[in-house]
Chains A and B, each alone.
Chain A
Amino acid sequence: MNKDRRKFLKVSTAITASLIPAVSVSSSEECEIDFNDAYGVLVDTTVCIGCRNCEKACNIENNLPEQPQGNFEDKSVFETNRRPDVSAYTVVNPSIDSKLPKYDSYAKIQCMHCNHPACVSACIVGALTKCRHGVVSWDAWKCMGCRYCLVACPFQIPAYEYEEALEPRVMKCTFCYDRIHNDKKPACVESCPVEALTFGKRGELIKLAHSKIESNPNKYYDHVYGEDEIGGTSWIYLASKEFINYDLPKLAEEKIPSLTESIQHGIFKSFLPPLALYGFLGLVMHSMRQEKKKEALDDEQS
């Protein structure tokens, strides 16, 4: 087979592939992911010492700026409440109700890799996907930059490269996709000196979290954040007080996309409603036309 021909074949398979609908029509398909078997991380905020090693490791792993918000040893960043942005996929914040000079606890925040991600459901071209390992990742080629994912995410996580004129990216935690697929832990987890972050299968992490609470009920606030919130998240949290202190919002168990998706699928149920409307209007048009014709005829005769 000569080169040209091979190239031709390649191109034509690419074209054919792109013409096959990839419609993930119902969220039930997505449920094929076994969330217990998917990966997750348990963040124990009572253990975290706010050293920002995870931030540093993340920036190095993902080729993000080396010193985004002050250098990584600088503790003065804690004075303001930070959010992940284009130069940092993850940030560590002290709990909101604790004040200098002694912060009582810290929480690392990043994309939660939701079980039923709002961003994935929202994305117009399917640039965001959730794989069976639980990772929610973003495809630069597909994305058209509508930023609907930013609107949809209940944790306000994805950041957009507004300053890029040509190829702005949606920036968020990648869950170290490549490392996980090579049986390595995410960079942040590996860098943590006190094991505040535990990487593992989500089902086991939830068990671990509950046993931690049980064996130390005085230390922990009795809730595993992310176990049920919006249908569950891959990253789950333990804390000594209410999670709102760590900028983790109060969320119901209802999956975020379920309402829009049921509206969508209701309207498009095998295209029946639109077709029915079409048929109905056609009928109206036809009968009205007949009526007018008759009237005209009557007019002529009289």
Chain B
Amino acid sequence: MNNHEAPTPINSKFFSKGAIVLSIFTLIGALGYLYRLIYGLGAATNLDNQFPWGIWIAIDVATGVALAAGGFTTAALADIFHRDKYHSLTRPALLTAMLGYTFVVVGLLADLGKYYNVWHPMLPSMWQGNSVLFEVGLCVTIYLTILYIEFFPIVIEKFMGHVKLPGILSKYNSLVESFLRISNRTLYRLLSLFIIAGVVLSCLHQSSLGTLMVIAPYKMHALWYTPILPLLFLLSAVTVGFPMVIFESILSSWSFKLKPEIKTLASIAKYTPILLFCYLSIKVADLAIRNAFGYLGEINIQSFYFILEMVIGVIIPMVILFQRDKRYSIKYLFLSASCIIFGILINRINVFLIAYTPLYSSSFYFPSFIEIVVTIGLMCGLVLIYRFLVIHLPVISIQRVKYKIVSKIPASKSVLEG
């Protein structure tokens, strides 16, 4: 266990320049959100009867869920398949998943016409086993709970042994302390069960998100409408899992001036090109079997977006990552991870929006200003909370040598260190 560094809170200021910019965007997004709550969907969005779903579903929910897949894929690799060297990645991935899903729910609430009824699917009398959306909803709810449970040990680790409640609450110190101790012990035993359950639930709802649009055969463009959409969604979510972890890890190492864990990242990246290749083959086979290749020749927005999705999101990163030396370059790793993430974003937008061509539409949906600022605000808010939590909780494993310190240390000393 000692050969990799233990996770520690990062020693850094919360309000860096970037964080201030993010806060401004979050604030604007929050105002947009408030506007939607007060004035309703009609005033805030460009949705109509022809286009009932917009970017809040395609990006905030569908892409959000896909990008949070890093949580379950790393958990599967490190905890279930016991590839212990990846343990340093599980906590950041878990935190991303937890926040990712939380923001998916926040985004979904904005989109629901009657957000205050969001608990309805929990009532057995309203269970609707035929509805794909019902299954997605139920799985996401349970999975989100599990993510919080999985994250709780990290909170315990921080506070156990030194609970100090402020002022009058301090008499409960020992009570909280023993609660932490007990939950620590029980959680330790049960954690494996939750981790496996998390992986199963993820597989279920990641694929079901793809099944959602299968119910609209007459409205979906043939480039995307296929009965194997659920398989494609699951596979692409699994594929984007590790790149997402790599992406964040590199970003946070830049932002906190830490040394990126290039070896671990390069090693985990070796699975990605294989997955991408599988995905590409299935996509090509699917188009071939359904005789849909012809649609690529048509010059329209659909064929353009399809090619964009495949070239940037799949082919380019696949080619880069198949080369071993490129995997050991931070630049290329980051570039290919970004490509894959962008590809997933475009793919989900494609399936939910670009492919959606309703019969009687006279116009085309384009998101409103409020829709855009809310979406951006949610992303920025997520990053901010992530930053806050890694500063205060033991999430990221730091390697001892830091860029900043190295550069500040006089030459003689750094030679010693080196």
Contacts and interface: CB of A to CB of B under 8 A. Distances in A.
Interface of A: 17-25, 27, 81, 83, 85, 118, 120-126, 142-148, 150-152, 154, 156, 158-168, 247, 249, 251, 256-257, 259-261, 263-265, 267-268, 274, 277-278, 281-282, 284-285, 288-289, 291-292
B214 A144 contact: no
B114 A125 contact: no
A159 B128 contact: no
Nearest to A264: B132
A272 to B, nearest CB: 12
A160 B49 contact: yes
Nearest to B40: A165
Nearest to B131: A124
Contacts of B81: 284-285, 288
A39 B227 CA distance: 33
A184 B200 CA distance: 52
A37 to B, nearest CB: 23
B134 A125 contact: yes
A203 to B, nearest CB: 26
Contacts of A264: 129-130, 132, 135, 208, 211
Nearest to A27: B130
B203 A277 contact: yes
Question: Which of A147, A251, A292 is packed against the most chain B CB atoms within 10 Å?
Answer: A147
A144 B76 contact: no
A154 B135 CA distance: 22
A261 B101 CA distance: 26
B235 to A, nearest CB: 15
Given A21-B127, A288-B80, A260 B113 contact: no
Interface in B98-112: 111-112
B303 interface: no
A285 B127 CA distance: 33
A115 B132 CA distance: 20
A163 B117 contact: no
5 contacts: A125-B134, A143-B113, A151-B213, A162-B42, A281-B196
Interface of B: 37-43, 45, 47-50, 52-53, 76, 79-82, 84, 111-115, 117-118, 120-121, 123-135, 137, 192, 195-197, 199-200, 203-204, 207-208, 211-219, 227, 230, 356, 358-360
B124 A21 contact: yes
Question: Which of B53, B127, B195 is packed against the most chain A CB atoms within 10 Å?
Answer: B127
Given A125-B121, A267-B204, A249 B215 contact: no
Nearest to A289: B82
B112 A146 contact: yes
Question: Which of B112, B113, B216 is packed against the most chain A CB atoms within 10 Å?
Answer: B113
Question: Which of A121, A142, A247 is packed against the most chain B CB atoms within 10 Å?
Answer: A142
A256 B216 CA distance: 8
A147 B219 CA distance: 15
Contact of A25 (B49, B52, B121, B129): B129
Nearest to A145: B113
B107 to A, nearest CB: 13
Nearest to B362: A81
Contacts of A289: 82
Contact of A24 (B45, B129, B212): B129
B49 A142 contact: no
B211 A260 contact: yes
Contacts of A263: 132, 211, 214, 227, 230
A121 B49 contact: no
Contact of A282 (B47, B115, B196): B196
Contacts of B204: 267, 274
B124 A145 contact: no
Contacts of B121: 124-125, 144
Nearest to B76: A281
Contacts of B133: 122-124, 146, 148
A142 B126 contact: yes
B374 to A, nearest CB: 15
A278 B146 CA distance: 15
Contact of A150 (B40, B45, B49, B120): B49
A118 B52 contact: no
Contact of B125 (A19, A120, A260): A19
Contacts of A277: 199-200, 203
Contacts of B120: 124-125, 142, 144
Given A124-B137, A125-B121, A257-B130, 20 more contacts: A20-B124, A23-B124, A25-B129, A25-B130, A27-B130, A121-B130, A124-B131, A125-B126, A145-B112, A146-B112, A151-B53, A160-B52, A165-B37, A165-B41, A247-B359, A257-B215, A263-B132, A263-B214, A267-B208, A285-B80
A267 B47 CA distance: 32
B359 A144 contact: no
Contacts of B195: 285
Contacts of B112: 144-146
A281 B217 contact: no
Contacts of B200: 274, 277-278, 281
Contacts of A124: 120-121, 128, 131, 133-134, 137
Contact of A145 (B50, B117, B196, B217): B117
Contacts of B38: 165
Question: Ordered nearest first, which 3 A-B pairs have the shortest CB separation?
Answer: A145-B113, A165-B40, A162-B42
Contacts of B43: 163, 165
